């Protein structure tokens, strides 16, 4: 079985590397990251010049790109992979995109006899590197069973959430919880520091109780160390929350907390922090208080 992989960015490259380590035969492509293609080739993957070349050889094609337009370009654009995918092949889209777009892509691929599974991930770059991502999957159960070994090679969990698009709906829910949680951690540590208590002491005291979370464990120390090197960039989280807004509008679902955090992120983007990690929500409070969190 040959695996195609399109999109070797901050998440895609380590995911592809883990598939190579697991013994899968990979062919990779990314016209925006030629160095990453060369790096994967040095580790045993085959390098393709175009997405169509990847599609022609792939039994299962994985896409890991920023948003809906990029997925459509990779599949249906010039030299797109869908031109050469064989009937019976599978597209496993690990990008975080609009669920409506997932369903549209599924319909187009079905005309060619190709199945789509939407399987966005959570965990950021660290979990992509160590192969412990969480996959939220939408599609048919029998196809899920076929791709599950690949997901297990890249992640620690993979849950079939429903039909096509359900994976991306679940990812939107995930991104709400993560965004609001990060903002709450930043707000709480800022308050504590302004009241004269060290943020590190607050973190140590509350992380083992009900307030504790994977988000707090991952992001609180980054905030205190003023380390905003991206594991997941502000601009990508804005993209996800914009997709939340679109979905919420379609189904008339209230999202006041999401809207608030989205506005905070947009202010950070305006001020030049779009490429920072989303833990840089702490910088929003720093702008208001003129006081940096410290360790």
Question: The domain that contains 186 carries what CATH number?
Answer: 1.10.1040.10
The reply to whether 204 and 73 lie within a common domain is no
In a domain, 295, yes or no: no
* β partners of residue 118: 93, 138
Q: H/E/C letters for each residue in 239-282?
A: HHHHHHHHHHHHHCCCCHHHHHHHHHHHHHHHCCCCCCEHHHHH
Question: Could you read off the pLDDT of 241-276 as tens digits, one per residue?
Answer: 999 999 999 999 999 999 999 999 999 999 999 999
What pLDDT, on a 0 to 100 scale, did the predictor assign at position 210? 98
Domain count, the chain: 2
Question: Could you read off the pLDDT of 222-232 as tens digits, one per residue?
Answer: 999 999 999 89
266: containing domain: 172-289
Domain termination site, one of 165, 187, 207? 165
pTM recorded for the entire structure:
0.92
| pLDDT interval class at 118 (50, 70, 90) | very high
Residue 17 annotated in active site? no
Distance, in Å, from the CA atom of 254 to the CA atom of 78, rounded to the nearest integer, reads 39
The reply to whether 263 and 129 lie within a common domain is no
What pLDDT, on a 0 to 100 scale, did the predictor assign at position 63? 98
Q: Show the CA angle centred on residue 128, arms to residues 126 and 132, nearest 5°.
A: 90
DSSP assignment letter at 83: G
Domain termination site, one of 122, 149, 165? 165
Domain termination site, one of 137, 165, 193? 165
Distance, in Å, from the CA atom of 289 to the CA atom of 282, rounded to the nearest integer, reads 11
- What is the phi/psi pair of residue 104, to 5°? -65, -45
The reply to whether 121 and 207 lie within a common domain is no
In a domain, 259, yes or no: yes
The reply to whether 44 and 149 lie within a common domain is yes
Would you give the distance in Å from CA 244 to the centre of its chain?
14
Q: Of 17, 127, 171, 283, which is the active-site residue?
A: 171
In a domain, 294, yes or no: no
The reply to whether 217 and 126 lie within a common domain is no
Distance, in Å, from the CA atom of 60 to the CA atom of 44, rounded to the nearest integer, reads 18
């Amino acid at each position: 079985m040959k695996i195609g992989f399109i999109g070797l960015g901050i998440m895609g490259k380590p995911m592809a590397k883990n598939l190579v380590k697991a013994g899968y035969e990979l062919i990779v492509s990314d016209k925006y990251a030629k160095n990453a293609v060369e790096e994967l080739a040095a580790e045993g993957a085959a390098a393709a010049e175009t997405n169509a070349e990847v599609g022609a050889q792939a039994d299962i094609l994985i896409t890991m790109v920023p948003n809906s337009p990029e997925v459509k370009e990779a599949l249906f654009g010039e030299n797109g992979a869908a031109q050469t995918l064989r009937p019976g092949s599978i597209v496993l889209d690990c990008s975080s995109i609009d669920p409506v777009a997932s369903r549209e892509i599924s319909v187009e691929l079905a005309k060619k006899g190709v199945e789509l599974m939407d399987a966005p991930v959570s965990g950021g770059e660290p979990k992509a590197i160590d192969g412990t991502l969480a996959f939220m999957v939408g599609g048919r159960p029998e196809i899920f069973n076929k791709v599950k070994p690949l997901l297990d090679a890249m992640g620690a969990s993979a849950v079939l959430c429903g039909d096509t698009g359900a994976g991306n709906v679940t990812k939107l829910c995930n991104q709400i919880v993560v965004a609001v949680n990060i903002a709450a951690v930043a707000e709480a540590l800022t308050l504590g520091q302004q009241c004269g208590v060290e943020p590190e002491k607050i973190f140590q005291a509350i992380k083992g109780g009900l307030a504790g979370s994977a988000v707090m464990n991952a992001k609180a120390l980054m905030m205190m160390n003023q380390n905003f090197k991206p594991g997941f960039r502000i601009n990508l989280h804005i993209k996800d929350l914009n997709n939340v807004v679109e979905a919420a509008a379609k189904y008339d679902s209230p999202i006041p907390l999401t809207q608030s955090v989205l506005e905070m992120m947009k202010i950070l983007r305006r001020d030049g922090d779009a490429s920072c990690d989303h833990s840089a929500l702490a910088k929003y409070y720093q702008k208001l208080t003129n006081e940096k969190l410290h360790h």
